[in-house]
Structure 1
Protein backbone atom coordinates (compact mmCIF):
# COMPACT_ATOMS: atom_id res chain seq x y z
CA UNK A 1 0.00 0.00 0.00
CA UNK A 2 3.02 2.28 0.52
CA UNK A 3 5.56 0.99 -2.04
CA UNK A 4 9.13 1.65 -0.98
CA UNK A 5 10.75 4.41 -3.02
CA UNK A 6 7.64 5.23 -5.06
CA UNK A 7 6.89 8.95 -5.00
CA UNK A 8 4.20 11.12 -6.55
CA UNK A 9 4.68 14.29 -8.65
CA UNK A 10 5.34 16.28 -5.46
CA UNK A 11 7.92 13.75 -4.24
CA UNK A 12 5.60 12.46 -1.52
CA UNK A 13 5.18 8.79 -0.63
CA UNK A 14 2.56 7.15 -2.86
CA UNK A 15 -0.45 5.85 -0.95
CA UNK A 16 -2.18 3.01 -2.79
CA UNK A 17 -4.98 2.47 -0.29
CA UNK A 18 -8.35 2.37 -2.05
CA UNK A 19 -9.85 4.51 0.70
CA UNK A 20 -7.55 6.95 2.40
CA UNK A 21 -7.95 9.31 5.33
CA UNK A 22 -9.43 11.98 3.08
CA UNK A 23 -12.55 9.84 2.48
CA UNK A 24 -13.28 8.84 6.09
CA UNK A 25 -16.29 9.77 8.19
CA UNK A 26 -15.88 10.56 11.88
CA UNK A 27 -16.70 7.06 13.13
CA UNK A 28 -14.20 5.57 10.64
CA UNK A 29 -11.11 7.58 11.65
CA UNK A 30 -8.72 5.39 13.65
CA UNK A 31 -7.71 6.90 16.99
CA UNK A 32 -4.03 6.76 16.05
CA UNK A 33 -4.70 8.72 12.87
CA UNK A 34 -6.71 11.31 14.79
CA UNK A 35 -3.84 11.76 17.26
CA UNK A 36 -1.20 11.91 14.52
CA UNK A 37 -3.19 14.56 12.64
CA UNK A 38 -3.54 16.67 15.77
CA UNK A 39 0.14 16.28 16.65
CA UNK A 40 1.35 17.32 13.20
CA UNK A 41 -1.13 20.12 12.50
CA UNK A 42 -1.85 21.66 15.91
CA UNK A 43 0.32 20.39 18.78
CA UNK A 44 3.73 20.59 17.04
CA UNK A 45 3.07 24.12 15.69
CA UNK A 46 1.93 25.19 19.17
CA UNK A 47 5.16 23.92 20.75
CA UNK A 48 7.34 25.37 17.98
CA UNK A 49 5.63 28.78 18.12
CA UNK A 50 5.84 28.87 21.92
CA UNK A 51 9.55 28.01 21.88
CA UNK A 52 10.30 30.42 19.02
CA UNK A 53 9.10 33.50 20.87
CA UNK A 54 11.97 33.76 23.40
CA UNK A 55 14.48 33.02 20.64
CA UNK A 56 12.99 35.67 18.37
CA UNK A 57 12.97 38.22 21.20
CA UNK A 58 16.76 37.89 21.43
CA UNK A 59 17.27 39.16 17.88
CA UNK A 60 17.59 42.92 17.36
CA UNK A 61 15.33 43.17 14.30
CA UNK A 62 11.90 44.61 14.99
CA UNK A 63 9.91 42.67 12.40
CA UNK A 64 9.96 38.90 12.71
CA UNK A 65 7.56 36.40 11.18
CA UNK A 66 5.87 33.11 11.98
CA UNK A 67 3.74 31.64 9.20
CA UNK A 68 1.54 28.71 10.18
CA UNK A 69 0.46 26.63 7.17
CA UNK A 70 -3.26 26.04 7.33
CA UNK A 71 -5.92 25.00 4.82
CA UNK A 72 -9.49 25.78 3.86
CA UNK A 73 -10.49 22.78 5.99
CA UNK A 74 -9.89 24.90 9.09
CA UNK A 75 -12.28 27.68 8.10
CA UNK A 76 -15.70 27.98 9.73
CA UNK A 77 -17.25 30.60 7.44
CA UNK A 78 -17.51 28.36 4.37
CA UNK A 79 -21.10 27.55 3.43
CA UNK A 80 -20.33 23.98 2.39
CA UNK A 81 -18.45 21.42 4.43
CA UNK A 82 -18.17 17.82 3.36
CA UNK A 83 -18.85 15.14 5.96
CA UNK A 84 -15.44 13.65 5.25
CA UNK A 85 -12.07 13.98 7.08
CA UNK A 86 -13.32 15.70 10.26
CA UNK A 87 -9.96 15.04 11.93
CA UNK A 88 -8.07 17.18 9.40
CA UNK A 89 -10.76 19.87 9.59
CA UNK A 90 -10.51 20.10 13.37
CA UNK A 91 -6.69 20.07 13.33
CA UNK A 92 -6.50 23.00 10.92
CA UNK A 93 -9.25 24.83 12.84
CA UNK A 94 -7.17 24.39 16.01
CA UNK A 95 -4.12 25.81 14.22
CA UNK A 96 -6.15 28.80 13.03
CA UNK A 97 -7.50 29.41 16.54
CA UNK A 98 -3.99 29.23 18.01
CA UNK A 99 -2.90 31.88 15.51
CA UNK A 100 -6.00 33.99 16.12
CA UNK A 101 -5.50 33.83 19.88
CA UNK A 102 -1.74 34.42 20.01
CA UNK A 103 -1.05 36.75 17.08
CA UNK A 104 -1.92 39.94 19.00
CA UNK A 105 0.39 38.99 21.87
CA UNK A 106 3.25 38.19 19.50
CA UNK A 107 2.57 41.40 17.54
CA UNK A 108 3.28 43.41 20.70
CA UNK A 109 6.83 42.06 20.49
CA UNK A 110 7.24 42.68 16.76
CA UNK A 111 6.52 39.08 15.77
CA UNK A 112 3.97 38.87 12.97
CA UNK A 113 2.08 35.56 13.23
CA UNK A 114 -0.20 34.48 10.37
CA UNK A 115 -1.99 31.35 9.25
CA UNK A 116 -1.90 30.89 5.50
CA UNK A 117 -3.98 28.63 3.27
CA UNK A 118 -1.76 27.34 0.45
CA UNK A 119 -4.75 26.86 -1.82
CA UNK A 120 -5.73 23.72 -3.67
CA UNK A 121 -2.36 22.31 -4.69
CA UNK A 122 -2.88 18.54 -4.39
CA UNK A 123 -5.60 15.99 -5.08
CA UNK A 124 -6.05 14.14 -1.80
CA UNK A 125 -8.24 11.40 -3.27
CA UNK A 126 -6.86 7.85 -3.29
CA UNK A 127 -4.30 7.34 -6.08
CA UNK A 128 -6.62 5.28 -8.29
CA UNK A 129 -9.45 7.82 -8.06
CA UNK A 130 -7.08 10.74 -8.68
CA UNK A 131 -5.60 8.96 -11.73
CA UNK A 132 -9.09 8.25 -13.08
CA UNK A 133 -10.05 11.93 -12.73
CA UNK A 134 -6.94 12.92 -14.70
CA UNK A 135 -7.73 10.39 -17.42
CA UNK A 136 -11.48 11.00 -17.72
CA UNK A 137 -11.76 14.68 -16.83
CA UNK A 138 -8.20 15.94 -17.34
CA UNK A 139 -8.44 17.16 -13.76
CA UNK A 140 -5.51 18.79 -12.02
CA UNK A 141 -5.66 21.01 -8.93
CA UNK A 142 -5.89 24.66 -9.99
CA UNK A 143 -2.65 25.60 -8.20
CA UNK A 144 0.74 23.94 -7.96
CA UNK A 145 3.27 23.70 -5.14
CA UNK A 146 5.04 26.85 -6.35
CA UNK A 147 1.76 28.78 -5.91
CA UNK A 148 1.35 27.26 -2.45
CA UNK A 149 4.91 28.20 -1.48
CA UNK A 150 4.35 31.76 -2.73
CA UNK A 151 1.33 32.08 -0.46
CA UNK A 152 3.41 30.94 2.52
CA UNK A 153 6.15 33.54 2.01
CA UNK A 154 3.77 36.36 1.02
CA UNK A 155 3.24 37.68 4.58
CA UNK A 156 7.01 37.84 5.05
CA UNK A 157 7.66 39.59 1.73
CA UNK A 158 4.83 42.07 2.20
CA UNK A 159 5.46 42.58 5.91
CA UNK A 160 2.04 41.51 7.15
Structure 2
Protein backbone atom coordinates (compact mmCIF):
# COMPACT_ATOMS: atom_id res chain seq x y z
CA UNK A 1 0.00 0.00 0.00
CA UNK A 2 1.28 3.47 -0.83
CA UNK A 3 2.01 5.87 2.00
CA UNK A 4 -0.64 8.23 0.54
CA UNK A 5 -3.33 5.52 0.60
CA UNK A 6 -2.41 4.58 4.18
CA UNK A 7 -2.75 8.24 5.18
CA UNK A 8 -6.15 8.43 3.43
CA UNK A 9 -7.34 5.17 5.07
CA UNK A 10 -7.92 3.60 1.63
CA UNK A 11 -4.94 1.25 1.69
CA UNK A 12 -5.07 -2.44 0.90
CA UNK A 13 -1.93 -4.51 1.45
CA UNK A 14 -0.42 -7.10 -0.90
CA UNK A 15 -2.68 -9.79 0.56
CA UNK A 16 -5.81 -7.73 -0.08
CA UNK A 17 -6.25 -6.76 3.56
CA UNK A 18 -6.63 -3.42 5.29
CA UNK A 19 -3.31 -2.69 7.01
CA UNK A 20 -3.22 -3.13 10.78
CA UNK A 21 -2.31 0.33 12.07
CA UNK A 22 -1.32 -0.63 15.62
CA UNK A 23 2.03 0.52 16.97
CA UNK A 24 2.76 -2.88 18.55
CA UNK A 25 1.74 -6.35 17.47
CA UNK A 26 2.42 -9.96 18.32
CA UNK A 27 5.36 -10.10 15.91
CA UNK A 28 7.42 -8.08 18.39
CA UNK A 29 5.76 -9.29 21.58
CA UNK A 30 7.40 -11.71 24.00
CA UNK A 31 5.61 -14.67 25.53
CA UNK A 32 3.75 -12.87 28.33
CA UNK A 33 2.58 -10.12 25.97
CA UNK A 34 0.91 -12.36 23.36
CA UNK A 35 -2.83 -12.58 23.97
CA UNK A 36 -4.11 -16.15 24.48
CA UNK A 37 -6.65 -15.76 21.67
CA UNK A 38 -3.88 -14.65 19.29
CA UNK A 39 -1.78 -17.67 20.28
CA UNK A 40 -4.72 -20.05 19.73
CA UNK A 41 -5.60 -18.51 16.36
CA UNK A 42 -2.03 -18.92 15.14
CA UNK A 43 -1.90 -22.55 16.31
CA UNK A 44 -5.26 -23.33 14.69
CA UNK A 45 -4.26 -21.86 11.33
CA UNK A 46 -0.68 -23.11 11.18
CA UNK A 47 -0.67 -26.52 12.85
CA UNK A 48 -4.15 -27.72 13.86
CA UNK A 49 -5.85 -27.08 10.51
CA UNK A 50 -3.10 -28.80 8.47
CA UNK A 51 -3.21 -31.78 10.85
CA UNK A 52 -6.99 -32.14 10.51
CA UNK A 53 -6.94 -31.66 6.73
CA UNK A 54 -4.22 -34.27 6.28
CA UNK A 55 -5.96 -36.74 8.58
CA UNK A 56 -9.37 -36.31 6.94
CA UNK A 57 -8.20 -36.16 3.32
CA UNK A 58 -5.76 -39.05 3.50
CA UNK A 59 -8.33 -41.69 2.51
CA UNK A 60 -9.27 -39.68 -0.58
CA UNK A 61 -5.61 -39.20 -1.45
CA UNK A 62 -4.98 -42.91 -0.93
CA UNK A 63 -7.84 -43.75 -3.31
CA UNK A 64 -6.61 -41.35 -5.98
CA UNK A 65 -5.24 -42.89 -9.16
CA UNK A 66 -2.77 -40.03 -9.57
CA UNK A 67 0.79 -41.21 -10.03
CA UNK A 68 1.95 -38.84 -7.31
CA UNK A 69 0.07 -37.13 -4.50
CA UNK A 70 1.30 -34.11 -2.59
CA UNK A 71 0.97 -32.36 0.73
CA UNK A 72 2.95 -29.14 1.03
CA UNK A 73 2.90 -27.66 4.52
CA UNK A 74 3.59 -23.93 4.54
CA UNK A 75 6.28 -23.28 7.11
CA UNK A 76 8.96 -20.68 7.80
CA UNK A 77 12.43 -20.24 9.18
CA UNK A 78 10.73 -19.51 12.50
CA UNK A 79 10.05 -23.25 12.79
CA UNK A 80 13.69 -24.28 12.65
CA UNK A 81 15.46 -25.46 15.78
CA UNK A 82 18.98 -25.29 14.37
CA UNK A 83 19.16 -21.55 13.77
CA UNK A 84 22.03 -19.84 15.54
CA UNK A 85 19.89 -16.96 16.78
CA UNK A 86 16.28 -17.05 17.86
CA UNK A 87 14.99 -13.77 19.25
CA UNK A 88 12.25 -13.55 21.88
CA UNK A 89 9.56 -12.08 19.58
CA UNK A 90 6.54 -13.96 18.22
CA UNK A 91 7.03 -17.21 20.18
CA UNK A 92 3.55 -18.39 19.18
CA UNK A 93 4.38 -18.33 15.45
CA UNK A 94 7.69 -20.06 16.14
CA UNK A 95 5.76 -22.78 17.99
CA UNK A 96 3.22 -23.18 15.20
CA UNK A 97 5.79 -23.49 12.42
CA UNK A 98 7.88 -25.90 14.50
CA UNK A 99 4.73 -27.99 15.02
CA UNK A 100 3.93 -28.22 11.31
CA UNK A 101 7.57 -29.12 10.63
CA UNK A 102 7.32 -31.92 13.18
CA UNK A 103 4.10 -33.15 11.55
CA UNK A 104 5.97 -33.38 8.24
CA UNK A 105 9.01 -35.00 9.79
CA UNK A 106 6.97 -37.51 11.80
CA UNK A 107 4.42 -38.59 9.21
CA UNK A 108 5.98 -38.15 5.78
CA UNK A 109 7.95 -41.39 5.45
CA UNK A 110 5.01 -43.57 6.52
CA UNK A 111 2.66 -41.68 4.20
CA UNK A 112 5.06 -42.11 1.28
CA UNK A 113 5.76 -45.79 1.93
CA UNK A 114 2.07 -46.62 2.50
CA UNK A 115 0.24 -44.33 0.08
CA UNK A 116 2.90 -42.67 -2.11
CA UNK A 117 1.99 -39.26 -0.68
CA UNK A 118 4.87 -36.80 -0.88
CA UNK A 119 4.73 -34.45 2.12
CA UNK A 120 7.14 -31.55 2.60
CA UNK A 121 7.38 -28.37 4.64
CA UNK A 122 8.29 -25.24 2.67
CA UNK A 123 9.58 -21.85 3.75
CA UNK A 124 7.93 -19.24 1.52
CA UNK A 125 10.79 -16.81 2.03
CA UNK A 126 10.48 -13.28 3.33
CA UNK A 127 7.32 -12.18 1.49
CA UNK A 128 5.68 -9.93 4.09
CA UNK A 129 6.84 -7.52 6.74
CA UNK A 130 5.00 -8.37 9.96
CA UNK A 131 6.45 -5.59 12.07
CA UNK A 132 4.13 -3.00 13.59
CA UNK A 133 2.69 -0.42 11.21
CA UNK A 134 4.74 2.53 12.45
CA UNK A 135 7.98 0.60 11.97
CA UNK A 136 6.91 -0.63 8.52
CA UNK A 137 6.01 2.88 7.38
CA UNK A 138 9.30 4.32 8.63
CA UNK A 139 11.25 1.60 6.84
CA UNK A 140 9.17 2.02 3.66
CA UNK A 141 10.00 5.72 3.65
CA UNK A 142 13.66 4.68 3.80
CA UNK A 143 13.13 2.38 0.78
CA UNK A 144 12.76 -1.00 2.49
CA UNK A 145 10.35 -3.68 1.33
CA UNK A 146 10.33 -7.45 1.79
CA UNK A 147 12.78 -8.98 -0.69
CA UNK A 148 10.21 -11.41 -2.13
CA UNK A 149 6.56 -11.04 -3.07
CA UNK A 150 3.51 -13.28 -2.80
CA UNK A 151 4.16 -14.80 -6.24
CA UNK A 152 7.68 -15.79 -5.14
CA UNK A 153 6.23 -17.41 -2.02
CA UNK A 154 3.60 -19.30 -4.01
CA UNK A 155 6.25 -20.54 -6.45
CA UNK A 156 8.24 -22.00 -3.55
CA UNK A 157 5.15 -23.79 -2.24
CA UNK A 158 4.36 -25.16 -5.72
CA UNK A 159 7.93 -26.28 -6.47
CA UNK A 160 7.79 -29.69 -4.69
CA UNK A 161 4.86 -30.56 -6.96
CA UNK A 162 6.72 -29.41 -10.07
CA UNK A 163 9.77 -31.42 -9.00
CA UNK A 164 7.66 -34.48 -8.25
CA UNK A 165 5.97 -34.36 -11.62
CA UNK A 166 9.45 -34.14 -13.16
CA UNK A 167 10.39 -37.36 -11.32
CA UNK A 168 12.24 -35.98 -8.29
CA UNK A 169 10.38 -37.18 -5.21
CA UNK A 170 10.81 -34.85 -2.26
CA UNK A 171 9.28 -35.82 1.06
CA UNK A 172 10.09 -35.59 4.73
CA UNK A 173 12.15 -32.45 4.33
CA UNK A 174 12.08 -28.73 5.03
CA UNK A 175 12.67 -26.77 1.83
CA UNK A 176 14.28 -23.33 1.95
CA UNK A 177 15.11 -21.52 -1.29
CA UNK A 178 14.02 -24.62 -3.26
CA UNK A 179 16.53 -26.88 -1.46
CA UNK A 180 16.36 -29.22 1.54
CA UNK A 181 17.51 -27.41 4.68
CA UNK A 182 18.07 -28.36 8.31
CA UNK A 183 15.01 -28.73 10.51
TM-score, structure 1 normalization:
0.93
Contact 2:108–2:120 (Cα < 8 Å) also in 1: yes
Q: Give the equivalent residue in structure 1 for 2:140.
A: 134
Query: For residues 1-40 of structure 1, what are the structure 2 equivalents within 5 Å?
Result: 6-40=11-45
C-alpha displacement of 1:7 = 2.0
Residue 129 of structure 2 is aligned to residue 123 of structure 1: yes
**How many residues of Structure 1 are paired with residues of Structure 2 in the alignment?**
156
Unaligned runs of 5+ in 1: none
Deviations 1:111-138 (A, max 9, x none): 00011000001111112210110112x1
> Residue 117 of structure 2 corresponds to which residue in structure 1?
111
The secondary structure found in structure 2 opposite 1:40 is helix
TM-score (norm 2): 0.82
Separation in 2, partners of 1:129, 1:48 = 36
- In the TM superposition, 1:60-139 aligns within 5 A as 60-108=65-113, 109-136=115-142, 138-139=143-144
What SS class does the counterpart of residue 71 from structure 2 fall into? strand
Q: In structure 2, list runs of 5 or more residues that go unmatched.
A: 1-8, 165-169, 171-183
**Which residue pairs with 2:149 in the alignment?**
144
For 2:58, which of 30, 53, 58 is the aligned residue?
53
Cα shift readout 1:72-104 (whole Å, capped 9, x = no counterpart): 100111101111000000010000000100001
